[in-house]
Chains A and B, each alone.
Chain A
């Protein structure tokens, strides 16, 4: 059973379709990036998965059941939503204690999670005095209260400084390294490219890709990089075989065919190769290709 699953999930707000028939499942023990331009429907999808927004169609399931039917939600899934969702006059520690009390979690966990996110020293201060990065860490602490095995994060790096982003990246790697599952939405591709094993990409409310990061970047590029001391003769042979190839360097070609096909052409012509590899696009290139160039990366 997938820890997180969308089955034909849809949401309409009046005449606007925010999410359209989305189906995907997040694999246990992996970090899955949830990508899409701003307004693609990521936040609405996450909030449907977390039971905060009612779907108009389909199902949003956590451990096989709708969120509201989870017996112990805080111990099943930890969620990081907006960093601004705090009562400004309540201290960080008391914010966690309120949540722990409601979830039936020992109050000692509030101090433990504050330590985990390196906020122990400021736990007694009112949240209005926190920086954005500290609020984001407090959100992570709240998500960890019940020691869940699944974390759902909505744009967690928004507003974080480079140190905060590095902290978050290391934390999520460590969480996943311990067997946890992470589903992280972002429109900052570089952030996800460094973290995710898999990516789910949505655009204009629809799913456009769901596969491993490696497979996606290789598949989308689809070409081959080949290096040979006889690059020009190889280009002619490839052209004769119906494969378009362009010179990338004096001894390097970029061919529009799979490495197997390029290797066969070179072997049949007796051409020596120094390198033969599938061309891999960056996640950003893949994203731009899949979304038709619509990209609003903030940084």
Chain B
């Protein structure tokens, strides 16, 4: 199992996918942080709560990690590499589990890199506007493990979902449509806080929950149930699939 995880990590390191996704996160952070810091007043920016909001854009890494997970599993079907993968590791469920673990690790790293960049760039812009920097405050720092754990979870979720759908573009489109359209509709029944997007947000918030989110522990538990369900269903599809 260890060698399969190492092989999956090597796969991630030997294409430009991680690099491009990392650059995409940084580009989004530059845009949002610059907009936020330039539009807000100095007095407002001086508040710890608002500085926390400035860097919370790093949570976009959880969404990008979801895409990483989808591409790393469904992409094997797109490129036809799944056949060679199963030739060296014919017990397919092990491959699925290794992929899930590897992408969770890569997702967490992506989350930490996103935080490091957001904190650095945010501090630079705040300093440039002569705003006292409070990014080391507890409420801001708690975002870092929250984002790293959330990105790990969404990466794993993406692996399971990608294996289930087997088409990377389709899986990404379905995920985005769900987050933008499907999940808000859960609000009609008053259960949106249990939706995947909301439970991930509750993990990100890590103790700074608003009323429409589950607590950190409950959110983490429900998120892991989603990961387990996607992993089991995706693994079962892989196990039963004919690789033609």
Contact = CB atoms under 8 A, between A and B. Distances in A.
Contacts of A101: 3, 6-7, 10
Contacts of A50: 87
Interface extent on B, as a size class? 20 to 34
Interface in B73-107: 75, 79-81, 83-91
Nearest to A85: B80
A87 B15 contact: yes
Interface string A93-106: 01001110111100
Nearest to B87: A79
Nearest to A72: B88
A275 B87 CA distance: 53
B243 A47 contact: yes
B244 interface: yes
A85 B89 contact: no
Interface string B186-230: 000000000000000000000000000000000000000000000
Given A67-B90, A68-B91, A81 B83 contact: yes
A24 B214 CA distance: 61
Interface in A44-91: 44, 47, 50-54, 67-68, 70, 73-74, 79, 81-82, 84-91
A52 B15 CA distance: 25
Contacts of A43: 244
A89 B16 contact: yes
Contacts of A103: 3, 88-89
Nearest to A101: B7
Contacts of A44: 244
A188 interface: no
Interface in B1-20: 3-4, 6-7, 10-11, 14-17
A85 B83 CA distance: 8
Contacts of A85: 79-81, 83-84
A74 B7 CA distance: 14
A52 B243 contact: yes
Interface residues of A, number: 34
Contacts of B243: 47, 52-53
A73 B80 contact: no
Contacts of A13: 242
B87 A74 contact: yes
A52 B3 CA distance: 21
Nearest to A51: B90
A90 B80 contact: no
A142 interface: yes
B87 A73 contact: yes
A90 B14 contact: yes
B10 A68 contact: no
A86 B87 CA distance: 14
A86 to B, nearest CB: 7
A70 B16 CA distance: 34
B244 A47 contact: yes
Contacts of B89: 73, 102-103
18 contacts: A13-B242, A47-B243, A47-B244, A51-B87, A51-B90, A53-B243, A53-B244, A54-B242, A73-B90, A81-B84, A81-B87, A88-B79, A89-B16, A94-B14, A98-B10, A99-B84, A101-B6, A102-B85
Interface of A: 13, 43-44, 47, 50-54, 67-68, 70, 73-74, 79, 81-82, 84-91, 94, 97-99, 101-104, 142
The 5 closest A-B pairs by CB, nearest first: A102-B7, A85-B80, A52-B243, A94-B14, A68-B90
Given A53-B242, A81-B84, A87-B11, 13 more contacts: A43-B244, A52-B86, A52-B243, A73-B90, A82-B80, A84-B80, A85-B84, A87-B15, A97-B10, A99-B84, A102-B4, A103-B88, A104-B3
